[in-house]
Chains A and B, each alone.
Chain A
Amino acid sequence: MAKTVIEIPYVVELPVGPQHPALHEPLLIKAYADGEEIVKVEINTGYNHRGIEKLMEKNNFYRGIFIAGRVCGICNSVHANCYVRALEYILGVEPSRRAKCLRVLAMELERIHSHMLINAVMAEILGFTSLFMNIMLDREKVMKAKEILTGNRVLADYMMIGGVRRDIDGVKRDKLLNLLNRIEVDVKRYKKIFEEDDTLLKRMVEIGLLSRTDSTKYSFVGPVARGSGVRIDSRASDKYDAYDEIPFNVITREEGDSWARMMVRWDETLEAISISKYALEHLPSDANPVPDERRLPRAFPEGSSYARVEAQRGELTYFVESRGGANPYRVKIRTPSFLNIIHSSILYIGYTIADLPVILTSLDPCVSCMERVTIIDLDNGVSRKIPFKELANWRRGD
């Protein structure tokens, strides 16, 4: 019988609806626990959602590029890229090969910094704070690289219809290659720690097992699905931008536990570094990657398109429908966290309460949205709030 209820107010970013984020009604993960074991999980009440889809219908297509970039700060390049490509399909515009390569470079740099961030957070949740600080310190090199390429550390605003906003010259290219080589040394070191350190392994191996069939049945995407052996990667299937020319591997693991998911991310980081280096070394010089803005049409033709991109967290899709005019008729954004987090209730059953933060972090949710957890003792009705991080060290009788 369930003796305690743990309520985790968690905020999922969904770009739908007319409202801006309503933190008061976050997603509530209600875990019912008997002693230490979780017996039932409910994911209910309101979500954090924004007026983005409605806002995009009210603004013209070009402003939508900036709105799309602000759906998620960590994934801003991939959001903007997906929206821009959906518009390019409607218009029938094809960017130059150099622009495609630069786009890939921006997105892969973002993948590197995001994966380092979530692995740092996982280390912190498990109590390994010095590893968290070290990974964050080395992550600054990636932010520097992003700044050299796009002009800003976080929000790149780099994509535009027909290409990118700025070009790079030989000096920047050498700086980027230098940074990437140094980052590669760091990432290999951290991957080794995650493979060998006992404190990390004991808390992650065999935790939150996801079977191969459940992966597709419950529509998991991204590293969560790839950690269970599902070979899906939008870069390999759609071959958008320069991915048809750059060789890379799709990383999968068979174990299906939290450790496998984090290791998939480390391996993807190494792949991202090799893709970026290849892109820099083989940068085509066919045309100016920055298109002439004045030639872009104000009103779009009729048509609808569906673009997919491999975001850091999984498959991100944009559906854009235009019925002529300067504003879109419908924009639908489906983020990967939408599927991964909402369908995750099956992953927690049978594990202890202290495993819950580990499983949730292995799904790569939005980092800064984790707040306080309320623990309600069903026997005597007492409830207390503790920080999310402390849940990972929770024991009976605390």
Chain B
Amino acid sequence: MSFESKLSSLKKYFVEEQLIKPNRKVYVFKSSDIKYLFKELIDNFGFDNLYVSTIVGTDLLKEGLIRLDYYVVFLPEEVTVVFRTFISRENPVIDSLIDIIPGVLSGECETHDLLGVVFKGNPYLKRGFFVPKDIVDSKEYPLRKDSKV
């Protein structure tokens, strides 16, 4: 099966398709589907043929959402695909992928410490993992648009 056809079997999760320059396809999915989506990705491709490159969290103050982008690189073609989801800013909770793909550890811990996203099921999340103590004590999330740092 080609790369395109392996990915097309996951179309049931995709709500929308976007593009990030220069040529990265973005597939938007519902945040509650995250574990099913990634489990099927592993089943279709195998651990040997994909890795999670980075997790980018962005605070969208005006829309009241936090946007999470999971950048996954597929091998052997080495194509970067973005899986994007939105969670509420007031209660930013999403399932953790750490039991499926341990390589998300650094990305999830960083997004938690800097934006306040809670990844349910990740035992390593803690504040102060990156951010120094005085910011932790003031309960600020540095990368939020309304933070006072």
Contacts and interface: CB of A to CB of B under 8 A. Distances in A.
Direct contact between A and B judged by beta carbons closer than 8 A: yes
Interface string A321-363: 1000000011010100011001100000000000000000000
Nearest to A49: B130
Interface in B85-112: 101-107, 109-110
A332 B49 CA distance: 25
A6 B20 CA distance: 44
B21 A303 contact: yes
Given A47-B130, A216-B47, A334-B53, A343 B143 contact: no
Contacts of A330: 56, 58
Given A213-B48, A231-B76, A304-B21, A17 B54 contact: no
B42 to A, nearest CB: 9
Nearest to B73: A232
Nearest to A234: B78
Interface residues of B, number: 47
Given A237-B78, A306-B24, A14 B58 contact: no
Contacts of B149: 18-19, 54
Contact of B52 (A213, A219, A319): A219
B142 A212 contact: no
Given A17-B114, A19-B132, A317 B106 contact: no
A324 B59 CA distance: 17
Interface in A7-57: 14, 16-19, 22, 25, 44-47, 49, 53-54
- Looking at chain B's contact residues, the main secondary structure is mixed
A90 interface: yes
A54 B51 contact: no
B75 A232 contact: yes
Given A89-B22, A231-B76, A305-B20, A17 B58 contact: no
A216 B114 contact: no
- Looking at chain A's contact residues, the main secondary structure is mixed
B130 A219 contact: no
B80 interface: yes
A54 B146 CA distance: 12
Nearest to A315: B53
B132 A22 contact: yes
B97 to A, nearest CB: 11
A146 B133 CA distance: 40
Nearest to A341: B106
B113 to A, nearest CB: 8
A308 interface: yes
Given A217-B102, A237-B78, A46 B128 contact: yes
A236 B56 CA distance: 24
A5 to B, nearest CB: 19
B80 A339 contact: no
Interface centre among B73, B102, B133 (most CB of A within 10 A): B73
A229 to B, nearest CB: 10
B10 interface: no
A218 interface: yes
A198 B143 CA distance: 50
Nearest to A42: B124
B71 interface: yes
A321 to B, nearest CB: 7
Contacts of B132: 17, 19, 22, 25, 46
A231 B51 CA distance: 12
Given A17-B142, A18-B135, A54-B149, A212 B48 contact: yes
A19 B21 contact: no
A334 B130 contact: no
Nearest to A46: B128
Interface centre among A53, A306, A329 (most CB of B within 10 A): A306
Interface in B11-45: 20-22, 24
B102 A343 contact: yes
A319 B53 CA distance: 12
A242 B43 CA distance: 37
Nearest to A19: B132
B131 interface: yes
27 contacts: A16-B110, A16-B130, A16-B142, A17-B113, A17-B142, A19-B149, A44-B124, A45-B128, A53-B143, A212-B48, A216-B51, A217-B47, A217-B101, A219-B51, A219-B52, A219-B53, A219-B106, A220-B51, A230-B75, A237-B79, A303-B21, A304-B21, A305-B20, A319-B56, A332-B54, A342-B106, A343-B106
A-B pairs with lowest CB-CB distance, top 10: A219-B103, A237-B78, A18-B149, A305-B21, A334-B54, A89-B21, A216-B51, A342-B106, A18-B142, A22-B132
Interface of B: 20-22, 24, 47-54, 56, 58, 69, 71, 73, 75-80, 82, 101-107, 109-110, 113-114, 124, 128-133, 135, 142-143, 147, 149
